[in-house]
Chain A
Amino acid sequence: GAVVSQHPSRVICKSGTSVKIECRSLDFQATTMFWYRQFPKQSLMLMVTSNEGSKATYEQGVEKDKFLINHASLTLSTLTVTSAHPEDSSFYICSARPSRGTGELFFGEGSRLTVL
């Protein structure tokens, strides 16, 4: 099956710093990638849809200046959490849908962010 890789898997940072999380589709091209946030014991909450070559689409309540998206190629999307605060601590997951496929989504392993 298709493989999506996230990096880093865990990151701890100080309050006020920025953190970048990468999402790569290893064996397929993805015009669109999705970023989710997941709180403990809860389902996935879509934050933003990352579109290669165009502006990202943010869900209601998600701050554009807080969560920056760069989708510069068909295999890489990055999420930057700017000026991170403890409330940003969470499990962030990306997914990608192959440009040519059956419409299935493939998920990364997730990145756990802890802001001290």
Chain B
Amino acid sequence: TQLLEQSPQFLSIQEGENLTVYCNSSSVFSSLQWYRQEPGEGPVLLVTVVTGGEVKKLKRLTFQFGDARKDSSLHITAAQPGDTGLYLCAGDETGANNLFFGTGTRLTVIP
């Protein structure tokens, strides 16, 4: 089983603050996905990054794929209460049929 470590595991911040979540692995992935999951629901795909060094922006969210395609980061600017949730990274290893999920980061944005 491939291991994707996310940090921090828990994060509680005030509305308007910025934050960064990290996803690290020793394995190389052909692509990496970020999901957000709310309690009692399935994960929802936010973005897929494919190219080493790639940066994608989704409104206040900025995703970056590491040059070596082993790690990724998610930066949220001016966090809002609606950003609260469990953030999961997932790596797609070449030749593997399944995604390998990260350990998760639970974000709470306090109004």
Contact = CB atoms under 8 A, between A and B. Distances in A.
Contact of B42 (A43, A49, A93, A104): A93
B103 A43 contact: yes
B43 A104 contact: no
A95 B98 CA distance: 10
Nearest to A91: B40
> Which 4 residue pairs spanning A and B have beta carbons closest together?
A107-B42, A43-B104, A110-B42, A44-B101
B contacts with A: majority SS: strand
A109 B98 contact: no
Interface in B1-45: 1, 31, 33, 35, 40-45
B52 to A, nearest CB: 17
Given A41-B106, A42-B104, A43-B102, A106 B45 contact: yes
A102 interface: yes
30 contacts: A4-B42, A6-B42, A41-B86, A41-B104, A41-B106, A42-B103, A42-B104, A43-B86, A43-B101, A43-B103, A43-B104, A44-B88, A46-B98, A49-B97, A60-B1, A91-B40, A93-B42, A95-B42, A102-B48, A104-B45, A104-B48, A105-B45, A105-B90, A105-B99, A107-B35, A107-B43, A109-B41, A109-B42, A110-B41, A112-B40
Nearest to A45: B101
- Interface size for chain B: under 10, 10 to 19, 20 to 34, or 35 or more residues? 20 to 34
Nearest to B48: A104
Contacts, number: 51
A98 interface: no
Contacts of B83: none
A44 B90 CA distance: 10
Contacts of A60: 1
Contacts of B88: 43-44
Contacts of A104: 33, 45, 48
A52 to B, nearest CB: 13
